[in-house]
Structure 1
Amino acid sequence: MKAQVQKGFTLIELMIVVAIIGILAAIAIPAYSDYQARSKMAAGLAEISAGRTAFEEIVNNGGTVAVGDNADLGLASTTNNCTITLSANSIECAMENAPTQIASAKLTWTRTAADGTWACATTGASDARFAPKSCPQ
């Protein structure tokens, strides 16, 4: 007599696999969302950090930075990551198209006129861990 060979999977085996996939998804999806928020904040910081050099060049040559004129610094007004605004002593990035954790977040580089040092601060993120390390909340 030939022994019967099992072909396919039993219902319980399939249910176990589905349960394992569900558990992994429950862990992975929130972690991925946090990763997206942190990377969006880092990208916004990189975009406004580039303007500090041009800002310094204008100020050190005796000029003044025109408020709201991002073209002077070589910065776009709006990017995929943020809306960039310029004031007399700061460059700010308000997050655009961002995950809910950072939807109202702002990154700001502020220049101290007395000594020319720059300080970065993050506001509005739902948790301080989303702020870049070099720009704490």
Structure 2
Amino acid sequence: MKAQMQKGFTLIELMIVVAIIGILAAIAIPQYQNYVAKSQVSRVMSETGALKTAIETCMMEGKDSSTDPVCDLGWTDSNLIGEGESEGFDTQDGLDVEISLADNTASVTATFGGNASAAINDETLAWTRSDTGTWACTTSVEAKYRPAGCGANEAEE
């Protein structure tokens, strides 16, 4: 009589596979969360950076946030920006745009909220225009989430 061969995996083999998957998940999930937070900061940097051209146009037309808050910035709400007050121009909560013709300066400050990662929630990203017309980006997020071209806030250094 021919011996019948059993087919399948042993319990030990299955436990080893589960352990390997657990180890990979323990490494992969935090790395993925860091990647998501960093990409969200980069996205907000890009979205708010796009306002620089509109702000320059408003300044050339002689409109600032204290005298003429009807300057059209062409802003579309972002689901990564939330909590906080919006001053000056009619934008969403968490986005503050200020233009000062007297000083020849401007600023755009975004506060992370809404659907932003918990690691960056309530942090800020700001574009600031100096009186010479140059723009600089600063942010309060941790260094590991900070995109290239955007430095730390001076208060954190």
TM-score normalised according to structure 2 size: 0.76
Residue in structure 2 matched with residue 87 of structure 1 by the alignment: 98
Q: Are the aligned partners of 2:79 and 2:116 in contact in 1 as well (CA < 8 Å)?
A: no
Residue in structure 2 matched with residue 37 of structure 1 by the alignment: 37
Answer yes or no: is 1:132 the counterpart of 2:147: yes
SS of aligned partner of 2:110 = strand
SS of aligned partner of 1:104 = coil
Q: Are the aligned partners of 1:34 and 1:130 in contact in 2 as well (CA < 8 Å)?
A: yes
Residue in structure 2 matched with residue 104 of structure 1 by the alignment: 122
Supply the AA of the counterpart residue of 1:92: T
Q: CA RMSD in A?
A: 1.9
Q: Are the aligned partners of 2:63 and 2:71 in contact in 1 as well (CA < 8 Å)?
A: no
CA distance in 1, matches of 2:135, 2:8: 65
Supply the AA of the counterpart residue of 1:116: G
SS of aligned partner of 2:72 = helix
Q: Which deviates more, 65-74 or 19-28?
A: 65-74
Change (3 A) 1:112 1:98: same
Question: What pairs with 1:3-82 in structure 2 (closer than 5 Å)?
Answer: 3-61=3-61, 63-66=62-65, 69=69, 72-76=72-76, 78-82=77-81
Supply the AA of the counterpart residue of 1:136: G
Q: Are the aligned partners of 2:58 and 2:71 in contact in 1 as well (CA < 8 Å)?
A: no
1:6 Cα deviation from its structure 2 partner? 2.5
CA distance in 1, matches of 2:45, 2:71: 18
CA distance in 1, matches of 2:19, 2:69: 55
Which 5+ residue runs of structure 1 have no aligned equivalent? none
SS of aligned partner of 2:58 = helix
Q: Are the aligned partners of 1:70 and 1:85 in contact in 2 as well (CA < 8 Å)?
A: no
1:70-108 Cα deviation digits (max 9, x unpaired): 8621124x4211132111210111112222211121110
CA distance in 2, matches of 1:128, 1:69: 35
Find runs of 4+ consecutive structure 1 residues off by over 4 angstroms.
67-71
Percent sequence identity is 46
Q: Are the aligned partners of 1:65 and 1:72 in contact in 2 as well (CA < 8 Å)?
A: no
